[in-house]
Amino acid sequence: MSNERRIEPPSICAVGSPVTVSGNSGTVSDSPHRDGAPAPERKGRGPVSEPGHDRVVVFDTTLRDGEQSPGASMNLSQKLRVAKALAELGVDVIEAGFAAASPGDFEAIQAIARQLEGPAICSLSRCNRGDIEASWNALKDAPKKRIHVFLATSPIHRDFKLKMAKEEIVRRAVEGVKLAREKCEDVEFSTEDAARTELEFLAEVVERAIDAGATTLNIPDTVGYALPQTYAETLGYLKKHVRGIDRVVISVHCHNDLGLAVANSLAGVMVGARQVECTINGIGERAGNASLEEIVMAIKTRADVLRVATGVKTERLYPTSRLVSQVTGINVQRNKAIVGQNAFAHEAGIHQHGMLTHRETYEIMRPEEVGFSRSSLVLGKHSGRHALKERLAALGYKLDDAQLDKVFAEFKVLCDKKKEIYDADLEALVIHGQILAAGQRAWELEALSTTSGTGTLPAASIALRNRQGERFQEACGGDGPVDAVLKAIERITGITGKLRDYQIHSVTVGEDAQGEVVLELEHPTGVYRGRALSTDIIEGSARAYLDVVNRIALKEPAASAQSEAVRELGTV
Ligand SMILES: [Zn+2]
């Protein structure tokens, strides 16, 4: 698959200047980044590209498509935190939600639109006036904004979901794009389930959408059905047969049902797509979306073949991945490419020898490039506030004085429990602090003690304080100390449910490592996730369970009504 057509880097939409591609740029210089030859620093936002490289627009949909993965719903402050991290990462477009889906989605998009600078903010809409107006109302205060309208085009969706004939689909698509263009200069149109749509009909819909004013044309593989070659052929067909396609940015949006989302996205880029839609850690419905970090690092590492570039600051990939994993409670598998714990681990002796002689023997990327730290032991008991601040800044966390005071206090407490403080420990303190600070608490843990052992009956005694400052105490037996603790909390708070998941992970290495406890509880009002961090796993379990109890008391379900609503409405 050769990349014949060269295009200029697209400019990202400000008001009155939608994303456009135009003309033919010159040749491509043969200067991929190699180990030891650092990438030129990219400053600011917008259409920054390396000489001779086409710019690929990175469209992040972690907050919309990613949030549709079961149990991944985020509250408003968590969404804002993730959006800020995405802006720092350097993505070009943030799809912040589906404004018409629920008041919660609307509010989140509006808050992000009002508070964030840098990337264009986008909202998904069906092709109807109500959805498009909701998107516009949520987006209108953003410095850069985009309305994304979609309509299914495949026979199975036409016949069984929409019950519309082809002519009706074309009419609605045109109407939707026109309505969106009345509000916004930057309009993306998606042909839902494009990968299973007849090519001729797909070309017709795309051409009409371009005529109606769409500035980006997205060709989604909504159900993850395509193969790299078939997907590239679909895009190639459109490029050949659609009048006016050179005026718009072609976008790819791939799902991972066959494990091919990234491969398909890159196959699209190789035939001229200049926008990739993706999510952090590849989260999304079912098997997920194409993973942002994998696409970005493939583009960077194989620039010799792909000959394109993104504006992503790759050294922010790992911290952003950690944040999304912490906020959603969805862990990243150890062997996940780019951001998994083992992605850069070399344990076999033969590899280590090769690595010491020459790094490139077994390493095609440097861990530092994606934000993994090489340093292991960083701080300890005698480290001061300044050293902590410096280390956090190096990890990419800029805290104000009040936040730093809080993290420093927690750091000192941790130093008493743990000799060696690693980067991951610091990161966990900061992220947990941000997540917990986001919510109010109905119940606080005051005291806890447990007994367990061979031949004794496990028991827990616990004291909690409510918001009015009243103290409650309870003692319970159980199958084990954790079970006894959870029962005691249930008795005091009166909140019970079915425990669906309970996991403990070690944040770093060593016997005194902090454990992160994540649990999921099914309650009549919804599914709730809680998490906590502690060097003591029983205390961590109590705190994680209290986190859930507090969410229930304050009604912050994980599998929120808005995800359900989105699923009902259909999606790209
Ligand atoms: Zn999708």
Full 3-state SS string of 186-220: CEEEEEECHHHCCHHHHHHHHHHHHHHCCCEEEEE
Distance 512 CA to ligand 1 centre (A): 41
Tokens found for residue 191: 């042909």
Q: How many residues does the chain have?
A: 572
**19 confidence band (pLDDT: 50, 70, 90):** very low
> At what angle are helices 261-270 and 228-241 packed, to 10 degrees?
30
DSSP string, 204-262: HHHHHHHHHT-SEEEEEETTS---HHHHHHHHHHHHHH-TTGGGSEEEEEEB-TTS-HH
Count CB atoms within 10 A of the CB of residue 22.
11
| Long-range interactions of 295-298: CB distance < 8 A, separation 24+ | 295/58, 295/262, 295/265, 295/266, 296/58, 297/337, 297/338, 297/365, 297/369, 297/370, 298/262, 298/266
Task: Give distance in angstroms: CA of 255 to centre of ligand 1.
Answer: 6
- Say how many Å lie between the CA of residue 503 and the centre of ligand 1: 28
Q: Token digits for 303?
A: 């620039």
Residue 299 burial by Cβ neighbours in a 10 Å radius (0-12, 13-18, 19+)? buried
C-alpha 206/C-alpha 177 separation (Å) is 11
Question: What distance in angstroms lies between residue 359's CA and the mean position of ligand 1's atoms?
Answer: 38
Alpha carbon of 572 to ligand 1 centroid (Å)? 4
Q: Does pLDDT of 75 surpass 90?
A: no
How far, in Å, CA of 534 to CA of 544, rounded? Answer: 10
pLDDT on residue 41:
41
Q: How far is CA 521 from CA 144, 420, 540, in A?
A: 39, 33, 16
| 222 Cα to the center of ligand 1, angstroms | 5
Cα(35) to centroid(ligand 1), Å: 34
Q: Mean pLDDT throughout 487-503?
A: 93
CA of 41 to the centre of ligand 1 (A): 32
Instruction: Kindly write down the DSSP assignment for every residue of 434-447, as one continuous string.
Output: HHHHHS--SEEEEE
| CA 285 to ligand 1 center in whole angstroms | 7
How remote is the C-alpha of 180 from its chain's centroid? Answer: 26
322 falls in which pLDDT band (50, 70, 90)?
confident
Note the pLDDT of residue 45: 36
pLDDT at 253 over 80: yes
Encode burial over 436-457: b for 16+ CB neighbours within 10 A, e otherwise. Answer: eebeebbbebeebebebeeeee
CA of 59 to the centre of ligand 1 (A): 12
Would you say 4 and 10 are in contact if contact means Cβ atoms under 8 Å apart? no
Q: What is the pLDDT of residue 483?
A: 93
* C-alpha of residue 445 to centroid of ligand 1, in Å: 41
User: Is 409 strand, coil or helix?
Assistant: helix
Distance 96 CA to ligand 1 centre (A): 13
Examine the pLDDT at 184 and tell me if it is beyond 70.
yes
Q: Above 80 in pLDDT, residue 206?
A: yes
Nearest-10 crossing angle of helices 76-89, 317-328: 170
Q: Burial level of 218, CB count in 10 A (0-12/13-18/19+)?
A: buried
> For 451, what's the count of Cα atoms within 13 Å in the CB-facing half-sphere?
8
CA atoms within 13 A on the CB side of 274: 28
pLDDT at 48 over 50: no
Residue 114 burial (C-beta neighbours within 10 Å; 0-12, 13-18, 19+)? middle
Centroid of ligand 1 to alpha carbon of 224 (angstroms): 9
Binned at pLDDT 50, 70 and 90, residue 356 comes out as: low
Per-residue exposure over 145-156, b if at least 16 CB sit within 10 Å of its own CB, e if not: bbbbbbbbbbee
Q: How many whole angstroms separate alpha carbon 371 and alpha carbon 89?
A: 11
pLDDT range class, residue 386, cuts 50, 70, 90: confident
Distance of CA 76 to the CA centre of its chain: 15
**Ligand 1 mean position, distance from CA 254 (Å):** 7
Average pLDDT over residues 33-54: 44
Question: What's the pLDDT at 564?
Answer: 55
Range in 208-222, 255-269, 513-527 the model is least confident about: 513-527
- Residue 2 CB partners (closer than 8 Å, separation 6+): none
Q: How far is the CA of 570 from the centre of ligand 1 (A)?
A: 10
Query: For residue 185, what pLDDT is reported?
Result: 97
**Is 535's pLDDT higher than 50?**
yes
Weakest-pLDDT range from 17-21, 502-506, 529-533: 17-21
**pLDDT for position 360:** 73
Total Cβ atoms within 10 A of residue 508: 17
363 vs 497 pLDDT, higher one: 497
Distances (CA, A) of 286 to 125, 128, 570: 21, 27, 14
Instruction: Pull the structure tokens for residue 199.
Output: 């090519």
191 CA distance to ligand 1 middle (Å):
11
Distance of CA 446 from the midpoint of ligand 1 (Å): 44
Q: Ligand 1: distance of its center to the CA of 82 in Å?
A: 19
Band (pLDDT 50/70/90 cuts) for residue 42 is very low
CA of 223 to the centre of ligand 1 (A): 8
Q: Is the pLDDT of residue 47 over 60?
A: no
Q: Which residues pair with 125 in a beta bridge?
A: 149
CB-CB contact of 122 with 146 (8 Å): yes
HSE, CB side, 13 Å, CA atoms: give it for residue 7.
27
Distance 229 CA to ligand 1 centre (A): 20
Residue 14's pLDDT band (cuts 50, 70, 90): very low
Q: What is the Å distance from ligand 1's center to 551 Cα?
A: 28
Q: How far is the CA of 65 from the centre of ligand 1 (A)?
A: 5
- Residue 66 Cα to ligand 1 midpoint, Å, equals 8
Contacts of 53 (CB under 8 A, 6+ apart): 28, 29, 303, 307, 308, 309
- Give the distance (Å) from ligand 1 centre to CA of residue 407: 37
Alpha-carbon distances, residue 274 vs 53, 306, 400, 459 (angstroms): 12, 12, 38, 60
- Structure tokens of 325? 């994993």
What pLDDT band is residue 10 in, cutting at 50, 70 and 90? very low
Tell me the torsion sign for CA atoms 82, 86, 87, 89: positive
Please tell me the predicted confidence (pLDDT) of residue 172: 97
Predicted confidence at residue 395, as pLDDT, reads 73
Question: Can you tell me the distance from the alpha carbon of 162 to that of 467, in angstroms, rounded to the nearest whole number?
Answer: 50
| Cβ atoms 356, 388 nearer than 8 A | no
Across the range 382-407, mean pLDDT stands at 84
pLDDT above 50: residue 5? no
Taking residues 469-492, what's their average pLDDT? 94
Alpha carbon distances (Å) from 301 to 229, 234, 277: 22, 26, 19
Instruction: State how far the Cα of 122 lies from the Cα of 145, in Å rounded to an integer.
Output: 6
Output the CA 215–ligand 1 centroid distance in Å. Answer: 19
Residue 7 has pLDDT above 60, yes or no: no
User: Rounded to the nearest whole angstrom, what is the distance from the C-alpha of residue 20 to the centroid of ligand 1?
Assistant: 23
Distance 571 CA to ligand 1 centre (A): 6
Q: What's the CA-to-centroid distance between 212 and ligand 1, angstroms?
A: 23
Ligand 1 centroid–CA 61 distance in Å is 8
What is the 253 CA–ligand 1 centroid distance (Å)?
A: 6
Report how far residue 163's alpha carbon sits from residue 38's, in angstroms, rounded to the nearest whole number.
54
Confidence of residue 550 (pLDDT cuts 50, 70, 90): confident
CA 413 / ligand 1 centre spacing (Å)? 43
Rounded to the nearest angstrom, the distance between the alpha carbon of 495 and the centre of ligand 1 is 36
Of the pLDDT bands very low, low, confident and very high (cuts 50, 70, 90), residue 398 is confident
pLDDT at 467: 86
Going from the Cα of 76 to the center of ligand 1, the distance in angstroms, rounded, reads 21
Give 334 Cα–ligand 1 centroid separation in angstroms: 25
Which pLDDT band holds residue 187 (cuts at 50, 70, 90)?
A: very high
> For 97-152, what is each residue's pLDDT tens digit?
999 998 989 999 999 999 999 999 999 999 999 999 999 999 999 999 999 999 99
Q: How far is the CA of 220 from the centre of ligand 1 (A)?
A: 7
Residue 95 has pLDDT above 90, yes or no: yes
| Cα 396 versus chain centre, distance | 17
- Centre of ligand 1 to C-alpha 81, Å, is 22
What is the pLDDT averaged over residues 234-261? 97
Distance 331 CA to ligand 1 centre (A): 20
Is residue 331 within a helix (H) or strand (E), and if so which, with residue range?
none
Query: Does residue 208 have a pLDDT over 90?
Result: yes
